[in-house]
Amino acid sequence: MIPRYTRDAMGRIWTDANRFRIWMEIELCAAEAMEAKGMIPAGVGAALRAKAWLPDEKDVAAIAAIEAERQHDVIAFLTHLERRMGPEARYLHMGMTSSDVLDTCLGAQLDESAGLILEGLDALREAVSKQAQKHKRTLMVGRTHGIHAEPITFGLVLALWYAELDRQRTRIEAARKSVAVGKLSGAVGTFAHLPPEIEASVCAKLGLAPEPIANQVVQRDRHAEWFSALANLGASIEKMAVNLRHMQRTEVGEAAEAFGKGQRGSSAMPHKKNPIASENLTGVARLLRSHAGAAFENVALWHERDISHSSVERVIAPDACILADYALARMTRLIEGLVVDEARMRANLDMSRGLVFSQRVLLALVQAGVEREAAYGWVQRNALACWEQGGVFLDRLLADEEIREVMDEASLRSCFDFGELFDGVEQLFGRVFG
């Protein structure tokens, strides 16, 4: 992923140097476990551990140079270890295949990435929760099909987002468990040259679960679940972003992204304040969905494995984790700094001159003994007159002779009260926030 979208902690997980560090740790843990089981001479594991180091960019370059000749990344890595560690290094990789290292390393990287993503998701949930509590009773119009429907509060919008983010957290946790596995079962997964105890020991030290059964690779349905969870998370972030983009439209003006001192909105038009974060996050969500699609293509490998998945994962594994981490942080900043225009929300609610209470009037007429079909027609004709000719909805209802025969003025006016809405808000907040 390009540096523009890479945050430091997540970026470090996916560096070549860190990947080689994990590979070395897998090899050293395996050697120590083999020594404990008497498979290699006593003292070899300790000797190798004593010669271990943290790989850096010099190591990355040296391994790349060997790979250019050998045309195999794991062999290049092992050759580099032999050159630096000496004779004891011949006991590394005993009974193992390349995928034992690669897939176990990928499991460790995804597990660590998941920890950061969950931290970011918790920060976003907290930001949304605070804004929801602040705007619990901030009235605004609810829209369906883009048209005014009924009154809601901005707090309800945010509470809905919070509940969805809770579900996303559950999905991320489940997907993390699915991919946080390792395997050291050999070339086709039969443990023919290495007993299961070695795998168990290495995985335990890395904080991974052993894959119950593998062929040469950990099965890619696990990884498809992970990338699907990230795409789903991205979809929720996009939903929030798209709605905030609409709210910032000049004609709506209900909420806007914070605009910093010295910030510029357009190279041509000095007046512009654009929803750049929301639009950026919409694009990020598209990338996350595309990575999920690629991950599903990786599930169907030939026989005990092929490497058609390898090139895909070298791109999507770091990119998807980095993008998800970035998206969570950017949306959190957006929500924390969100500028809410409560007066504009109320003005937009009042724009339809009371039409948003049409269902309340319909229900009141039914309760007064009017057949529903007739009541609907009475309310609709007054509502359409407001749309087409203007005027205030309540005034038209008060002037409608058929309606006035069954409802007095006080009863009609009571239909235009927000009290029942706020009662519902309290119940819904109780469900969401406890």
Question: Is residue 85 within 8 Å of residue 55, measured between CB atoms?
Answer: no
- DSSP assignment, residue 194? S
How many C-beta atoms surround the C-beta of residue 106 within 10 A? Answer: 21
Question: Is residue 95 within 8 Å of residue 33, measured between CB atoms?
Answer: no
Q: What is the DSSP string of 350-416?
A: HTTTTGGGHHHHHHHHHHTT--HHHHHHHHHHHHHHHHHH---HHHHHHT-HHHHHH--HHHHHHTT
Instruction: Out of 98, 113, 135, 145, pick the active-site residue.
Output: 145
- The separation between CA 371 and the C-alpha centre of its own chain, rounded to angstroms, equals 48
Q: Which distant-in-sequence residues (6+ apart) come within 8 Å of 334 by Cβ?
A: 241, 244, 257, 258, 277, 278, 281
How many C-beta atoms surround the C-beta of residue 17 within 10 A? Answer: 15
Annotated active-site residue 185? The verdict is no
How many C-beta atoms surround the C-beta of residue 207 within 10 A? Answer: 12
Residue indicated by tokens 């060997």: 66
Instruction: Out of 72, 193, 266, 308, pick the active-site residue.
Output: 266
Annotated active-site residue 223? The verdict is no
Assigned token pair, 389: 């000719």
Q: Which of 104, 82, 94, 103 is nearest to 38 (CA)?
A: 94
Cβ-count burial 4-13 (b if 16+ within 10 Å, e if not): ebbbeebbeb
- Whole-number Å distance between alpha carbons of 115 and 180: 11
Question: Is residue 244 within 8 Å of residue 330, measured between CB atoms?
Answer: no
Question: Is residue 133 within 8 Å of residue 184, measured between CB atoms?
Answer: no
Residue indicated by tokens 């512009």: 272
Give the SS3 label for residue 131.
helix
Query: How would you classify the pairing of strands 139-144 and 209-210?
Result: unpaired
Query: How would you classify the pairing of strands 209-210 and 255-256?
Result: unpaired
- Any idea what the Cα angle at residue 178 is, between residues 175 and 180, rounded to 5°? 105
What residues act catalytically? 145, 266
